[in-house]
Structure 1
Amino acid sequence: MTSAVPGVRRGWPAVDNAAGGLAVDLALYAASAGFAAVTTLTSTLAPHRAWGSVATAGYLVAAVAATAQLLIWRRRPGSPLTGLATRWAVAGLAATTTVLLPVLWQSTERAFGRPDRAQEEVIVIEDSGRRLIETGTPYLSREAIAALPTGEQLFGYTPYQPAMALFGVPRAIVDTALTDARVWFALATVAILALAGRTLWRSGAPEAHRPGDGILRGVQAAAILPFSALTLATGGDDLPVLALCLLALTLAAAGKPGRAGAAVGLAAALKLFAWPVAVVLAVWGATRRSGRRVLAGALGLPVIALLPVLLIDPDALVENVLRFPLGQGLVTSPAQSPLPGHLISITLPAGRLLTGGLLLAVGLAFALRLTRCPPRTAAAASLICGYGLLVALLLMPASRFGYLLYPLAFLIWTPALAGRNPATRPGTGQPGVHLRGDHLS
């Protein structure tokens, strides 16, 4: 199948397929081991150091396994020990030792009295789950937050959409290691990625399933490499959101706009980061006369999640979800990594106004791009989401390095989508004429 995204099937796959994909596997696991080791030695955050001490060994084992596979491939390129199934086994080993084991270890230590084994967002989400059960809303009002001791006001804010509190409900019911919110983040992420991978596999052409397959690379990006594994082991709230967005793009590639809208709608009910993806998918759906089917889930599910909260305390919702992230809360958001937007906002006169203007200009540019050249394939939609979020995150006055996992995962997931865009008749999801000329130029 001719790619709808120029360069996706030429440049990156040429590198990715080198030595049957094993060369890139080895490079990724070796680099990840180095990152984990540096994290152990230099991080100022206790949960990060704890993750690094375990993950370093896990990545090293995966790198050794990939090295052995690469040596076998050079002697016997057709050996089953170098095939895609074996590469998946090594990836599973890496995931177990760098994600699952650290999550269980840190949640167990936390349950036995180590409060430094979880980042703030875990505590915040678990508290929001308790409030959801007790009051029907996960949010505290501005007055209630102001009444907290000064050192605890930051923990009073819940800057997420209402459905995120559901991950904190198990801990509100019973306090054990297995009810740690990270355990449920991990379970949800694994289940969603498994569904996305199964959808890609079933919808792809047979020739797409070769070594260097984009499904494996996408799962590595979304759940195994450090920018996702570290996030999931120490905080984790972004991973289910990301996984749902990837599932939505995958369902779009499979020609299922209604299900794609539902998936991104669930993500949008968890966190605002999914809303730009919902907009891009709605535009994609419009090119196939399926925009309403996408919007039904993409807008309907977040609205359903928001309505009860709006009825109970609308001002608390605005305080937590809008004022706090925009820097108008009682305390300042800790999301202040030294990215360009943050540096501009604190070093230049009227820096915040300048970054706001830059963000507005970028938003208008991408809106114009969507209007004049809408994405007609899921791969093109994924590229737009990746590049758009990357630029936005770099320019935001308050952001975190960890948020970069969103655009990186979208960009790495794109090759898998590019090989699996079924030719469809607009609005039907049935075989039809392949749409050409859909690119980012």
Structure 2
Amino acid sequence: MTAAPDRTAPAPPRWQAVDSAAGGLALDLGLYAVSAVFAGITAATSTLLPHRAWGALATFGYALATLAATGQLLARRRHAGTFLAGLPARWAVTGFAWATTALLPVAAQSIQRAAGRTDRAQEEVVVIEHAGARLADHGTPYLGHDAIAALPPAEQLLGYTPYQPGMALFGLPRAAVDAWWTDARVWFALVTAVALAVAVVTLRGTSGPDAPGRGGALLRGVQAATVLPVCALTLATGGDDLPVLALCLLALTLAAAGRPGRAGVAVGVAGALKLFAWPVALVLVCWAATRRAGVRTALGALGLPAVALLPALLIDRDALAENVLRFPLGHGLVTSPAQSPFPGHLIAAALPAGRIVAAALLVAVGVVIAVRLLRRPPRTAATTALICGYGLLAAILLMPSTRFGYLLYPLALLVLAPALALAERRPEVAA
């Protein structure tokens, strides 16, 4: 008797054809070239000064990566299989692109901010650093309703901390020392780099066969989490979503390697930082249940966020509710600035009782996904990534208050799925 295969396709043939054209270099070239245009337009037209500063540096980084990819394509045409056009060289260009379009802007903006520039960080950086200071002084990163109301109206938005308690840890360095390297973005970048490096090592070390295209698929997944403009721009100007994303990707690679307990810990750490990781945690627990490891995975995936919430709950539960529930749901003293024109926001703004309609659609999508998980839980990490990716995409599109940058989650999850599928591909064994 053989295990029933999971029929969710990890990579449509059309995508495989595009991805593998010219040994993957054609899509590399397109990615870097389009990204250079995006960065240039951002530098010239963005009304957000941190974004303009990012674009000014990133344009050159993407342009140089475009030139490198062009050279690789020419080398491949003249000498098939040459080192310059091989997978190691593609990894090198990707690393260079991330260093120049994300890490260099992070360092530059952090240094300029430490020197006195007040326009070199988005509000979330300031919010998280203030949360770190409150955590160090009072044991909770949250201000209560009355404390926020006592702030000047222009500062009330920055009084809210709409994150899970663990996110305040990134603000602790600035609470101790006022220097460029204590900027929260520096630590976001460090955790992101470490998590992605461990994910790559984990996926390369899986016991599955070295299927054709496996290395290229893994590289594409890393590109989606690093050099894609929505990720590089986010890390350089705000950055709080990148360690959450990287930890979720690490959890999925650990799942593909057959380590459900460690996968639960990784996604649990992500869930202690931000709510966006919680849907990934729930789907991973469903995956683990098909391997009789549901409890072991849930201990980390659900237990770590719960433990992180406990101190804030005991110290001031009303402040916790004000920040992580009322404010994101639109019932705070001020309105969230996350107002990207996705369907959920447009419905909420344009229709009578629009917020109720948008919320009903969001709940309907959640019910559909829940039914799917109950009737046919995912049996592979690749399918888990696809369910999480499409589910988060639907949620982002339907939430009344959302940001364009949140698309980095579904994009990276969906692009990583083929690499997970290739890592898990094993001959079927009779049970």
Bucket of the pairwise TM-score, normalised by the shorter protein = over 0.9
Q: Cα distance 1:289–1:328, how it changes in 2: closer, same or farther (>3 A)?
A: same
Within 5 Å, give how 1:130-145 maps onto structure 2. 130-145=133-148
Matches within 5 A, 1:176-191: 176-191=179-194
Give the whole-Å Cα distance in 2 for the aligned partners of 1:243 and 1:284: 19
Q: Deviations over 1:76-95 (max 9, x none)?
A: 11101111111111111101
Cα distance, 1:18 vs. partner? 1.1
Counterpart residue identity of residue 93, structure 2:
V
Q: Separation in 2 of the partners of 1:12 and 1:199?
A: 25
Q: Identify which of 53, 56, 59 aligns with 2:56.
A: 53
Q: What residue in structure 1 maps to residue 67 of structure 2? A: 64
Counterpart of 2:87 in structure 1: which amino acid?
L
Tell me how large the CA RMSD over aligned residues is: 1.6
Aligned residue for 1:247? 250
Could you say which residue in structure 1 is the equivalent of 2:286?
Answer: 283
Q: SS of 2:197's equivalent?
A: helix
Quick one: distance in 2 between partners of 1:85 and 1:43? 35
- 1:12-71 deviation per Cα after TM superposition (whole angstroms, max 9, x unaligned): 222211111101100000010011011111111000000000000000000000000001
TM-score (norm 1): 0.94
Aligned length: 427
In 2, the alpha carbon distance for the partners of 1:288 and 1:9 equals 26
Give the direction of change, closer, same or farther, for the CA distance of 1:361–1:275 in structure 2 (3 Å limit): same
Give the residue type in structure 2 aligned to 1:36. Answer: A
- Determine if the alignment matches structure 1 residue 192 to structure 2 residue 192: no
Instruction: Describe the superposition over 1:232-268 as per-residue Cα deviations: whole angstroms up to 9, x where unpaired.
Output: 0000000000000001111111110000100010000
TM-score normalised over the length of structure 2: 0.96
**Given that residues 20 and 211 in structure 1 are in contact (C-alpha distance below 8 angstroms), is that contact kept between their aligned partners in structure 2?**
no
CA distance, structure 2, for counterparts of residue 308 and residue 140 of structure 1: 14
Find 2:117's aligned residue among 114, 130, 137: 114
Letter in 1 for 2:163: Y
2:20 maps to a residue whose letter is N
Structure 2: gaps (5+ residues): none
Contact 1:17 1:211 in 2 (8 A): no
2:265 aligns with one of 241, 262, 265? 262
Bigger mean CA deviation after superposition, 295-304 or 163-172: 295-304
1:5 Cα shift? 3.9
Partner of 1:129: 132
Residues 47 and 234 in structure 1, CA contact (< 8 A), matched pair in contact too: yes
Letter in 2 for 1:358: L
C-alpha distance in structure 1 between counterparts of 2:116 and 2:141, whole Å: 25
The one-letter code of the counterpart of 1:126 is E
Amino acid of the structure 2 residue aligned with 1:288: R
Whether the 8 Å contact between 1:16 and 1:212 is mirrored in structure 2 is: no
Aligned partner of 2:115: which letter? F
Instruction: Decide which of 416, 420, 423 is 1:417's aligned counterpart.
Output: 420
After TM superposition, the structure 1 = structure 2 runs for residues 312-323 of structure 1, keeping only pairs within 5 Å, are: 312-323=315-326
Matched, 1:218 2:245: no
Whole-angstrom distance in 1 between the partners of 2:6 and 2:33: 31
Alpha-carbon separation, structure 2, partners of 1:92 and 1:4: 34
Letter of the 1:55 counterpart? A
Structure 1 residue 197: Cα displacement:
0.4
Residue matched to 2:106:
103
Distance 1:208 1:118 in 2: 43
Query: 1:326 is paired with a residue of what secondary structure?
Result: coil
Pairwise mapping of residues 3-14 of structure 1 onto structure 2 (< 5 A)? 5-6=8-9, 8=11, 10-14=13-17
Misfit runs of 4+, over 2 Å: 2-7, 9-14, 204-212, 431-435
Structure 2 CA distance for partners of 1:308 and 1:209, relative to 1, 3 Å: farther
Tell me if the contact between 2:141 and 2:165 (Cα under 8 Å) persists in the aligned partners: yes
Q: What does 1:13-32 correspond to in 2, within 5 Å? A: 13-32=16-35
> Which position in structure 2 is the counterpart of 1:348?
351
* Deviation at residue 300 of structure 1 after TM alignment: 1.2
The separation in 1 between residues aligned to 2:340 and 2:269, in whole angstroms, is 28
Given that 1:36 and 1:52 are in contact with CA atoms closer than 8 Å, whether structure 2 keeps it comes out as yes
Query: Partners in 1 of 2:429 and 2:214 — Cα distance?
Result: 28
Task: Identify which range, 393-402 or 204-213, moves more after superposition.
Answer: 204-213
Distance 2:296 2:20 in 1: 37
- How far the C-alpha of 1:434 sits from its partner, in A, is 8.5
CA contact (8 A) 2:10 2:418 kept: no
Q: How far did 1:9 drift?
A: 6.5
Residue type of the partner of 1:284? W
Q: What per-residue deviation string (whole Å, max 9, x for no partner) do you get for residues 133-155 of structure 1?
A: 00000000001000000000000
**Counterpart amino acid of residue 67 in structure 1:** T
- Counterpart residue number, 2:401: 398
Q: Which amino acid aligns with 1:47?
A: P
Q: 1:3 to 1:359 in 2, by over 3 A?
A: closer
What are the superposed Cα offsets for residues 280-313 of structure 1, whole Å, 9 maximum, x if unpaired? 0010011111100110101111111111111100
Secondary structure of the corresponding residue to residue 226 of structure 2: helix
Maintained 8 Å contact 2:264/2:297? yes
Instruction: Write the deviation string for residues 119-164 of structure 1: whole angstroms up to 9, x where unpaired.
Output: 0000000000000000000000001000000000000000000000
Specify the alignment match of 1:433 in structure 2: 429
Code of the aligned partner of 1:282: V
Distance in 2, Cα, partners of 1:160 & 1:138: 9
1:17, 1:212 within 8 Å by CA — same for their partners in 2?
no
